[in-house]
């Protein structure tokens, strides 16, 4: 599974880097607005599924010490060129960092690529310091439900779906998830959610069946 995901990102790394600025304008705004009240200066930050390091560069400009991990060698190479951060190739399901290392653990548009979201969240929790902040943006489970092709659709069974985004220029195969995988009991027992919102993103993504629905959600939470 991870090999398939990586291969697709390696393959469209260039398109992704060139297109993300224009196509992801809505989701970027929501994500950065959520992060705006976090003082980055001097903080140690991990970006999970960091892609080409676009976000890390912004965090560095605000004085953060940054780390990034991504499964795509090609994107890690670009991120290493783009930033001063410590960027490594790896799998977010097994983060190669010590417990309680980071003040802030963030992720944008990456968590849904794993078949094991609760495990990834548990790993992000493990490496986050108590009192630290976890913040992420992920593809909305409702969008993934609508992308299911089998009939009748089953929200609760994981399936690989094809998401069309970047105005139709890129499509990615990703496993579907339920909202309960993100808001799972272990996560809820340890975190105080301070921000949650869901949004459409139609200019950049396919409007499935012409329906109106949330394409992504953003969440920010403090580790108790």
Residues binding ligand SAM (CB under 6 A):
2, 5-6, 9, 20, 49-51, 54, 69-72, 75, 91-93, 108-110, 113-114
Q: Which is nearer to ligand SAM, 54 or 191 (CB)?
A: 54
Backbone angles phi, psi at 70, to 5 degrees: -150, 150
Residue with Cβ nearer ligand SAM (114 or 176): 114
Least distance in angstroms from the C-beta of 151 to ligand SAM: 28
Q: How far is CA 84 from CA 39, 65, 68, 118, 178, in A?
A: 19, 9, 11, 30, 36
**Cβ-closest position to ligand SAM:** 51
Taking the complex as a whole, how short is the minimal distance between the CB of residue 106 and ligand SAM, in angstroms? 9
What is the sign, positive or negative, of the torsion defined by CA atoms of 83, 221, 110, 215? negative
Tell the smallest beta-carbon distance from residue 170 to ligand SAM (Å): 9
Cβ closest to ligand SAM, residue 40 vs residue 113? 113
In the bound state with ligand SAM, the residue whose beta carbon lies nearer, of 73 and 157, is 73
CB of 202 to ligand SAM, least distance (A): 17
């Amino acid at each position: 599974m991870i090999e398939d995901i990586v291969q697709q990102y390696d393959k469209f790394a260039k398109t992704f880097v060139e297109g993300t600025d224009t196509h992801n304008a809505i989701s970027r705004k929501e994500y950065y607005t959520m992060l705006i009240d976090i003082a980055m200066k001097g903080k140690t930050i991990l970006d999970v599924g960091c892609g080409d390091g676009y976000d890390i560069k912004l965090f560095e400009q605000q004085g953060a010490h940054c780390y990034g991990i991504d499964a795509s060698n090609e994107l890690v190479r670009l991120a290493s060129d783009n930033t001063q951060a410590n960027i490594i190739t790896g799998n977010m399901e097994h983060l190669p960092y010590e417990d309680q290392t980071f003040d802030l653990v963030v992720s944008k548009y990456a968590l849904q690529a794993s078949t094991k979201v609760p495990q990834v969240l548990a790993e992000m929790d493990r490496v986050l310091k108590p009192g630290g902040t976890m913040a992420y943006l992920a593809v909305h489970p409702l969008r993934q439900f609508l992308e299911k092709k089998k009939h009748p659709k089953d929200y609760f069974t994981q399936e690989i779906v094809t998401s069309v985004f970047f105005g139709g220029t890129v499509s990615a195969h990703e496993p579907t998830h339920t909202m309960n995988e993100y808001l799972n009991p272990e996560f809820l027992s340890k975190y105080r959610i301070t921000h949650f919102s869901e949004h459409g993103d139609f200019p950049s993504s396919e409007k499935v069946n012409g329906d109106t629905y949330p394409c992504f959600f953003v969440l920010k939470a403090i580790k108790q």
